[in-house]
Structure 1
Amino acid sequence: MIILQYFISHYNKECELTFPEDITIYDTTLRDGEQTPGVCFSFDEKLEIARKLDQFKIHQIEAGFPIVSEKEKESVKAIANEGLDATILGLTRTKTEDIDAALDCDVDGVITFVGTSDIHLDHKMHITRQDAINLCETAVDYAKDHGLFVAFSAEDATRTDIEFLKRIYGKAEECGADRVHIADTTGAITPQGIDYLVKELVKDLKLDLAVHLHNDFGLAVINSIVGVLAGAKAVSTTVNGIGERAGNASLEELIMAIKILYGKDYGFKTKYIKELSDLVSKASGLPIPYNKPVVGNNVFRHESGIHVDAVIEEPLCYEPYLPELVGQKRQLVLGKHSGCRAVRAKLNECELDVTDDELIEIVRQVKKQREEGKYINDKVFKEIVKNTKK
């Protein structure tokens, strides 16, 4: 167990932004994440990811879209019958045949959706607003009659007339829905916009509101945070932020921002974050960018001599939290910016002893060889030391 004091900006506390005691994180890596172009998880990969999400203590897993195919149904059913602690959800359109497919999978609940913006109603659905309300009513009634947890999602909600949103969410509530979702389908809302929208909606709603936010403008995580602060009680995420186009709100970024910056711990086992990230990266075939927050390879790597000197003495000088908290490890990298202290640390790690004069020459050679394009791994470093001591 890691015991440490987090050194975060005291200005955060001055804002007096308080997270609710309980929120629900429902992860859609296995559904929306798999809708990333070119991604198709195998049966075994889906099951393994679900198990790891459950080990992480995720609250709800959106396991898939059962109506898509027989293999999709098989994998969703297997996850539902795996005995996981997480609530297992399936996605459905507002059609009884979709809900029947989900019921066949033994899921605990469904997220049933319909487009609500005028552009979706006119150009995708080819229906009226009243038709959409009727579809919502039929689907929610049917799913509740079959004993399911039901979340109703308004697709493209952030480009939907707010009075119509209130009407259709009100109908979902009237029919017994457990939760309603704002889907920012094109990532088109700003933090100020989501703050306004959530506050307006929760005035009239007695059931929980969730946010499902896309990352087209890089705002999915901050919009999720603002949405919760405004009154949303559930948030959708994906591991590594994968998903359609620019993806969804990143699970690891959201959880760590809430835990470290806002000081709210919802009991997630963050030590499994890196394992979960690597698992999804391998299964999806999507590499993790080196500079990806929380899970990127460079997040806890240090090369600059000034930085390394400070990190050796007190890691929190240049790290907002210790790497072990998310299953990462600190790495001191040798290169053109390295100084004597970093090289001495590497020598100690390799159990090599040199004189002060030799140390200065080794530092010079490290800088020279790196500038010539050679990566200074352990083998190269030991060769430099060997040649210096001749």
Structure 2
Amino acid sequence: MVFGRSLTESRLISSANYVRTELPTRIAHRIRDMQRLPYAVVTNPHLRDVYELYYDAFDLFRRVREIKTLEDNERFCGELTKMLRAHLTVIPKLTIGMLECSDLMPADELDRFMSTLLRSRISRRVIAEQHLALTETFHADWFQPGTPLSESEFIGEIFLKCVAKDVIERCGHAVRDLARSANGPDVQIPEIKVEGHLEATFPYILGHLEYIIGELLRNSVQAVIDHHRQHDKADTPPPPVEVTICEAQKHVIIRISDRGGGIPRDMLPYLWSFAKGSKVRSQRLENLVQVPLMAATLQELRVDGNFTGLQDGKPGSAASSASSLSPLSSRPPNLRLGMGLPLSRVYAEYWAGSLELHSLEGYGVDAFLQISKLGNKNEQLATRAAMDAV
């Protein structure tokens, strides 16, 4: 946001050099993490592919010379775009590899490794995509160098006035369409009711918020449908999914409540785990094989391919760039990957927020998403020393 508030050629080049020096450093830490894995784990073909992607990216970016001109920046942005596209295979390959190696390492170590890699992946994509978005803004016909972007709705990928109610309603519409596609036209779909502080706004990257809200709503809507169907209540409409927005001075809390029967007790230990236990491992592997690319955005849940994020077409956004906010991957509507909750928590915590679930077995679930409202929090890898761990 600092680079973009009053964007000039020198600031754009400064942003490019920040990305140029930061990416290889962060990638190097993750390569070292993979080198520390047991030999039997790191030689898994899927994890080996991820390792090679990371090493190729590190080798590429460490050779990039200092960026001094707009032409240098254009070439650099081309390399960034290629890297973003190539790394869309990382999440499925990483998850498949972890599942296949789940007997070779303790589950808590695997989860810690996955969370670290995914949090670092978010950081690198945010850095790269923000620079691509600022470059696109700088070259847009409407832009005048030095114009304060803080008066517009976007600074690069960052939506300055993200209205919680609008995002929830947009995600809710997409999720209900998805549920109708997955369950058939005759199934009653629960309403999604939004109440509370409906005017609450905060700065955020829309694709991340849409993914978290989309996964939570998807889980709640499907749980209500299944619970309602099991109890033969065809003559009555299913209970609604209730979303409450609470705005405090420093944060916004979004509570999503459903009456979908709650989470089975035997699943609670695996709720935030990427491993999920041996019972569902084979099914998850079969499902993940069908998802060769994954950007981890709500757009992957689209039914007809026409769903686009709220930011599309707005000045200053990077809707047309090859970013993780674009619908670059496909996923059948009824395909459950079992990683929505842990990945959503990684997103939430990266932006200094939190995600918690409270389940009443036999009744329903309350999910609480806390979002930092002020927009002045550092990413949760703030210092160079902390990067050893994150």
TM-score bracket, normalised by the shorter chain, equals under 0.3
Larger Rg over CA atoms: 1
If asked which structure has higher relative contact order (CA below 8 Å, sep 6+), I would say 2
The TM-score normalised by the length of structure 1 is 0.25
Please, what TM-score do these two structures have when normalized by structure 2? 0.25
